Amino acid sequence: MNFDITTQIPVMEHFYTIQGEGFYTGNAAYFIRLAGCDVGCVWCDVKESWTVSENQLMLVDDLIAEVLKYKGRLIVITGGEPLMYDLSFLTKKLKENGFQINIETSGAYPISGELDWICVSPKKFKQPLREVVLKANELKCIIFNKSDFDFAEQNCLLATKDCLLYLQTEWSKQEQMLPLMIDYVKQNPKWKISLQTHKYLNIP
């Protein structure tokens, strides 16, 4: 699909909520979930974000107008895979309006735009670029099965010493994997546990 990235962006959904995961857990945040992803995680809980339709194209100026209706000044750009797109224009507009911009990405595409906080959640299905993990402020590795602990450690080696390290269970595997994750963090205290608190609290 062709569109002008300096005026439009494919948005699956956008909403004001509370960040439920990682370092910014508990903070009011406006989420911008971009449509489109080719990483293809089998356990993805937002598979509807994988495809892009013409009716999802949104004028950047209209999106900014919606964001400005709320008091919070923290933006979370997520997906899908948001770095499939050049985010320079969108983030420039957000910065002009005084927003802090966080991004959640698989790291599979190069970084673009003005970003204040980069959370890389690496996926086996399309592994992250080394240069993206090097810029990560936060590495959030999803634990779906036991082999994911090794995958997390492999990606940890690519990160800087200042990067915050989180392990988070895939939601449907909590009962099986959370006890293992607790034991793992106790044995490897460089890692912290991230919970999807928004799901416990039943907020979007």
pLDDT in tens, 101-135: 999 999 999 999 999 999 999 999 899 999 999 99
Residue burial 43-72, b: 16+ Cβ < 10 Å; e: rest: ebeeeebbebeeebbbebeebeeebeeeeb
Residue 167 is assigned to a structural domain of this protein:
yes
The confidence score (pLDDT) of residue 32 equals 98
Could you tell me which residues are beta bridge partners of residue 60? none
- Give dist(CA 152, CA 121) in Å, integer: 10
Question: What pLDDT does 44 receive?
Answer: 72
In-domain check, residue 79: yes
What is the pairing mode between strands 100-105 and 74-78? parallel
**Residue 3 belongs to some domain of the structure:** no
What is the structure's pLDDT at 45?
A: 66
pLDDT tens-digit readout, 76-94: 999 999 999 999 999 999 9
196 part of a folded domain:
yes
pLDDT for res 43 = 64
Residue 2 domain-assigned (yes or no): no
Tell me which residue range forms the domain holding 81. Answer: 8-200
Beta carbons within 10 angstroms of residue 185's beta carbon: 16
Q: What is the pLDDT of residue 85?
A: 96
Query: What is the separation of C-alpha 186 from the centre of its chain, rounded to a whole number of angstroms?
Result: 26
- Please state the pTM of the whole predicted model: 0.93
pLDDT at 93: 97
Q: Is residue 1 in some structural domain?
A: no
**Separation of alpha carbons 67 and 94, rounded Å:** 9
Per the listing, tokens 């009962």 go with 175
Distances (CA, A) of 51 to 55, 73, 114, 137: 12, 29, 25, 28
Mean pLDDT to the nearest integer, 38-47: 74
Q: Give per-residue pLDDT as tens, 20-42.
A: 999 999 999 999 999 999 887 77
> For position 187, which CATH number holds?
3.20.20.70
Query: Which pLDDT score is estimated for 187?
Result: 98
User: Residue 3 has what pLDDT?
Assistant: 82
Domain count, the chain: 1
pLDDT interval class at 171 (50, 70, 90): confident
Compute the distance between CA of residue 101 and CA of residue 110 in angstroms, rounded to an integer: 17
- Give 141-169 pLDDT, tens digit per residue: 999 999 999 999 999 999 999 999 999 99
Is a pLDDT exceeding 70 seen at residue 10? yes
